[in-house]
Structure 1
Amino acid sequence: MNRFSRAAAGVLAGVTLTLLTASPAQAAPFADPLDTPAVASTLAPRALLNGLAHAGTRIVAVGQRGHVLFSDDQGGHWHQAAVPVSTDLVALVFPTARDGWAVGHDGVVLHSADAGATWVRQFDGRKDADVGDKPLLDVWFDAHGHGMAVGAFGLALRSDDGGKTWQHWESHLDNPKALHLNAIREVGGTLYIVGEQGLILKRSTNGERFEAVPSPYQGSFFGVTGTGDSLLVFGLRGTALHSADGGQHWARADTGTQTGLTAGLALGDGALLLVSQSGQLLRSADGGATFHAQPQVKPGPASAVLVAAPGQLLIAGARGARLQALAATAAAK
């Protein structure tokens, strides 16, 4: 062994001995993200954001490490909300200008009563062994406090008291394989859930079940949007299906892309928008039959989209939220 090798070996042995004999007190204690408030950071507006929603005229965004941001100038400037957890947040909904809910990893459900400025934890997986560390992937509420949260491995929870208590609702879904449930949305007054392996579920007229809708595609769907009986589901490999009769019949949309479609939006003029994992912005003016890529779109992976102002979109993704001009001036429904 040469002199350099012997010296290096000595250093390595010393480091190893130090690690082996270090007192347990020197090790950083585990901090449960469910008990650790989100850290305020000036970088939060440029970090991963997964969901966007309107809270009246305010825009609220959720993302990694418990980050919740809100903007009162259509996405021009952002403020970080006070959040009691630092687990990743995936989706949110505001059925009224003041009350909103956000969901994420570890089965967490948060509620805000002040348009997203502050949040309280209502539920997490530690309270229910059947939830555990399963992530909740989407959430829906109406203005009367009736809501649902859906997630991995078929997880489906329902609340009828504004999120104060939750009940398992898996037995009310036609999902015998416990497939992942990726999104829940209300379209035309009807609730739909979409998930993996082509799963499309539609709430029954009595509201007590979600019944399977036949699907011609067996890959994963990531979202659903539309207006009235016009419905659009979208997901892996640029796949989108459109229906003009509430899901009774489907036709494959021509999206012009093979990239996963992550979010969608219905505009007031009847147009439909989709965004992709690679940052493409696609628009349809024929009910979802064909989509065309919009020019001069800023690059970057996209996970959520909404109308920030007339002619202006807000697109969220791995690099925060960015404004994107849109020719149409209609507001989103």
Structure 2
Amino acid sequence: MFIKITNNRQLRSTLVFALTTFLAGCEAPLNLEGVETEMSKAVHRTDQLLGVAVSQNQVVVVGSDGVVLTSPASELNWQRQQLSNNPNFVDIKLCPDQSLIALSMEHQLWISEDQGQHWHSSDIPTQESLTSVACGPDNSYWAAGSFSTLVSSHDKGASWTEQSLNEDAAISTVQFFDSQNLIATGEFGLLARSEDGGENWTMLDPIPNEFFPMTSYFSDPSTGWVAGLGGTILYTDDAGQSWQTEDTPTDSPIYNFYARDGRLFAFGDHGTVLERQDDRWRKLDSPNIPVYLRDGKLLDDKRLLVSGGWGALFTVDI
């Protein structure tokens, strides 16, 4: 076909007509059925699920964008809610009184006293980044983060006390042994202990080679494990005076430990789920997925629920 163009106005009109005709011919009907189906599910493929807690017979999972998932532990049937202001949750813990506390990146602690059905928040007055949370035997709230900062509340979040160990290092984990004895681990091999409920802290010899423990777990004040990049797990049986490297079947970073009933699990990148059996770390049979796993809890003596990035939420047969 030949079209004779006699002037610029005719050229513009012809191009507009041709482009409109082309787009109209190529445009397919917009099908939103797949999007609507995905959004109707309790768990979305974009969810970053960073913490799991089990309160009585209820499982609660928290993640980014204010996502809270709840289900009976006996038979998983997830219900989804999204909290106001879309807090980005990074950790959740169960307190001795069965209340739940969830830490968000926005310097807030969210509290639920009915197994995750309803929540209210407490603003944490610190400029430091907070990455982990713990609940004391007396139901006190503790959050830890950058510049070796610890903030605590002994009145359900009505007021907070901030302290620092004066080390330019991020604290990754705080753990209570009882009401008086605590241990903290963090960046550059930081290892600190308190024997008066967290009022004062003693810096212990650092973990060798400035090891950065992304997570730690101590079964008692002398016996503990720290984990980090490259699938590295270190073990001490003398309260951190010496450390031994334990063999692991992975090179992926390890992000979290979970211990219960004498069993110790670890969760990491590339769908890694480990269990320490007979003094050795073994890889459990879990889905082969290229996502990080961040937390997990036992549902019963046969099922381990695991959560992580990109909607990863599944059980592992143990």
- 1:74–1:312: structure 2 CA closer, same or farther, 3 Å change rule? same
Q: Which residue of 2 aligns with 1:184?
A: 174
Q: Which residue of 1 aligns with 2:199?
A: 208
Query: Aligned with 2:208: secondary structure?
Result: coil
Q: Establish whether residue 302 from structure 1 lines up as the match of residue 293 from structure 2.
A: yes
Instruction: Output the CA distance in 1 between the equivalents of 2:178 and 2:281.
Output: 22
Query: Aligned with 2:189: secondary structure?
Result: coil
Identical positions, percent: 22
- State the aligned residue count: 278
Instruction: Output the CA distance in 2 between the equivalents of 1:205 and 1:154.
Output: 18
AA at the equivalent of 2:295 = A
Query: Aligned with 1:106: secondary structure?
Result: coil
CA contact (8 A) 1:100 1:113 kept: yes
AA at the equivalent of 1:245 = D
- 1:191–1:54: structure 2 CA closer, same or farther, 3 Å change rule? farther
Q: Which residue of 1 aligns with 2:231?
A: 238
Q: TM-score under structure 2 normalisation?
A: 0.78
- 1:142–1:216: structure 2 CA closer, same or farther, 3 Å change rule? same
CA contact (8 A) 1:104 1:135 kept: no
CA contact (8 A) 2:42 2:79 kept: no
Q: Which residue of 2 aligns with 1:199?
A: 190
Q: Where in structure 1 are there 5+ consecutive unaligned residues?
A: 12-40, 327-333
- 1:188–1:245: structure 2 CA closer, same or farther, 3 Å change rule? farther
CA contact (8 A) 1:81 1:116 kept: no
Q: Which residue of 2 aligns with 1:109?
A: 109
Instruction: Please report the RMSD computed on the Cα atoms of aligned residues, expressed in angstroms.
Output: 2.6
- 1:137–1:231: structure 2 CA closer, same or farther, 3 Å change rule? same
Q: Where in structure 2 are there 5+ consecutive unaligned residues?
A: 1-7, 17-38
Q: TM-score under structure 1 normalisation?
A: 0.75
- 1:249–1:239: structure 2 CA closer, same or farther, 3 Å change rule? same
- 1:143–1:116: structure 2 CA closer, same or farther, 3 Å change rule? farther
Superimposed CA distance per residue, residues 41-97 of structure 1 (whole angstroms, 9 cap, x where no aligned partner)? 645523110011121221111101011111113472212246333121000111136
CA contact (8 A) 1:49 1:316 kept: yes
- 1:286–1:191: structure 2 CA closer, same or farther, 3 Å change rule? farther
* 1:184, distance to aligned residue in structure 2 (A): 2.0
CA contact (8 A) 2:65 2:82 kept: no
Q: Which runs of 4+ in 1 moved over 6 A?
A: none
CA contact (8 A) 2:273 2:286 kept: no
CA contact (8 A) 1:59 1:75 kept: no
Instruction: Output the CA distance in 2 between the equivalents of 1:88 and 1:95.
Output: 21
AA at the equivalent of 2:64 = Q
CA contact (8 A) 1:50 1:316 kept: yes
